Structure 1
């Protein structure tokens, strides 16, 4: 399962990456068809955010701790300090890990949005590729 990632290097510059979250086939009950499920990741808190209509741009910022964001509606355009821009539609989840440095810029779609933030206490430990 692919996931967009925003991270910062030791020099404080932010960048995008696409990572692969490993999955296994799993059934939720004996009669269910198996589907792809990732491993369980520890979360320290979950927040629901309502971004009001008309909030267009959030200035350069970092995140206080690594987190997954899942946009339920609307969209966002992220820009990293290296100048790259990515459009993220509703239904996409993003691993945001730029806890230091210059941070990233967020440009929101004009309509109101609901976003789920899942804080990861130690980031996301993935098996080596």
Structure 2
């Protein structure tokens, strides 16, 4: 399963990467085709955030700990410190791990949005 990642290098610059969250087939319900399911990741808290209509841009910022964001509605454009931009649509999730450095910029649509933030203090611990 693909996931956009925002991370910082030791020099404080933020970057994007496409990462792959490994999945396995799991029979979740009897008589139903198995689902693709990722590993379980330890989470310290879950927050549901309502971003009000008209909030266009959030200035440069970092996150206090790795966060998996799940966009329920509304798009956002992210920008890294080196000027690269990515458009993220509703239904997408982004692993935000730039806990130090210059951070990233968020540009929101004019409509209100709802985002689930899942704090992953240890990150997703992906295979190398």
TM-score tier, shorter chain, comes to over 0.9
Q: Which runs of 4+ in 1 moved over 6 A?
A: none
Instruction: Return 5+ residue gaps in structure 2 as ranges.
Output: none
**Alpha-carbon shift at residue 123 of structure 1 (Å):** 1.4
Q: Secondary structure of 1:101's match?
A: coil
- CA deviation map 1:54-102 (0-9, x unaligned): 0000000000100100110001000000110000000000000000000
Q: How big is the alpha-carbon RMSD for the aligned residues of Structure 1 and Structure 2?
A: 0.6
Taking the TM superposition and a 5 Å limit, the aligned residue runs for 1:1-129 are 1-128=1-128
Q: Distance in 1 between matches of 2:121 and 2:77?
A: 25
**Alpha-carbon shift at residue 35 of structure 1 (Å):** 1.6
Q: Tell me the TM-score normalized by structure 2.
A: 0.98
Q: Distance in 1 between matches of 2:94 and 2:115?
A: 11
The aligned length equals 128
